[in-house]
Amino acid sequence: MKKAVFITVRSDSSRLPNKALMKILGRPTIEMVILRAKQVNGVDDVILCTTERPIDDVIVDIARKQGIKHFRGSLEDKLLRWQGAAKAHGIDLFATMDGDDLLCDPELIQLGVRQMEESGCDYIKAPPGLICGSFTYCIRVSALNRVCEIKDTADTEMMWVYFEDTGLFKVSDLIVGDRAFFSDDIRLTLDYPEDFEFFNRIFEHYRCVDNDVPLREITGFLKDHPEIVAINSARQKDYLDNQKKKTKLVIKKENA
């Protein structure tokens, strides 16, 4: 069984323009994400998944520079892009890492991949209370292929509903025992200017140009410095409201 980390990213963004290319400690943020993904043990590949548009050439160049593979596919249809990447690179299951989750944790991804292998489930999601941006999903490609058969839209940015709300798949929460990874206040995703300031404060504190500080260490630091957590914590409601607004389940009539 071939396993991978898929980094999902494109150059443009509406809430924080060109956030993938904004620099922290002299590196574009997407390069920081790639460095993080390369620390995941137990997978065969790290694959950057972006679009075919010329504007995303710069992201592909960064992936090549970092020695990882890439796949270019649909702009709107994230599921179809993942399916194309899985087919092109022979992947059987993958963990996702969003291009704006600069501190997504390699340890948690390893837990997810191992849990998926041992349990035989189709899809693993973050449990309630896990820090936003610390883990996204693990997905079995056979389940992804089934979702691509039943969906009836190309707008799949909020793709989770096809796995969680159709009743077709074996879905599990990531099993995490360490409470260091849980907080309702810490927000580790880059969508707003406040998020960029928050990440800058962390990276400047550790001077971690290779983005190699374990998340459990960072959460300890943040719990001792609530003033840093407060920089972007209020943005979490905006983030969740925006996700809710864009979430929809559109399936073909024969599967309804």
Residues 142-160: pLDDT tens digits? 999 999 999 999 999 899 9
Q: Is 205 helix (H, G, I), strand (E, B) or coil?
A: helix
Whether 59 has a pLDDT exceeding 90, the answer reads yes
Please say if the pLDDT value at position 16 is more than 80: yes
- Domain extent at residue 163: 3-255
Rg of the chain, C-alpha, whole Å: 17
Residue 222 has pLDDT above 70, yes or no: yes
Average pLDDT of span 17-25:
94
Predicted confidence (pLDDT) at residue 9 exceeds the cutoff of 90: yes
Question: Residue 86 sits in a domain of what CATH number?
Answer: 3.90.550.10
pLDDT for the residue 213: 97
Name the band, by pLDDT with cuts 50, 70 and 90, for residue 12. Answer: confident
The whole-angstrom separation of Cα 111 and Cα 67 is: 24
Average pLDDT of the chain, as a whole number: 95
Hey, which bits of the chain come out as E strands? 3-8, 23-24, 27-28, 45-51, 69-73, 93-98, 123-125, 137-140, 171-173
> Side-chain half-sphere of 140: how many Cα atoms within 13 Å?
21
d(CA 197, CA 130): 22
| Residue tagged 């349990």 (tokens) | 119
pLDDT band at 238 (very low <50, low <70, confident <90, very high): confident
Residue 256 pLDDT: 62
Rounded to 5 degrees, what are φ and ψ at 139?
Answer: -135, 135
Which is more confidently placed, 15 or 134?
A: 134
Q: Are 64 and 84 in contact (CB under 8 A)?
A: no
| 130 pLDDT more than 70 | yes
Distances (CA, A) of 164 to 59, 80, 149, 160, 210: 31, 18, 16, 6, 35
Number of domain units in the chain: 1
Average pLDDT over residues 75-98: 97
Sign (positive/negative) of CA torsion 13, 56, 10, 144? positive
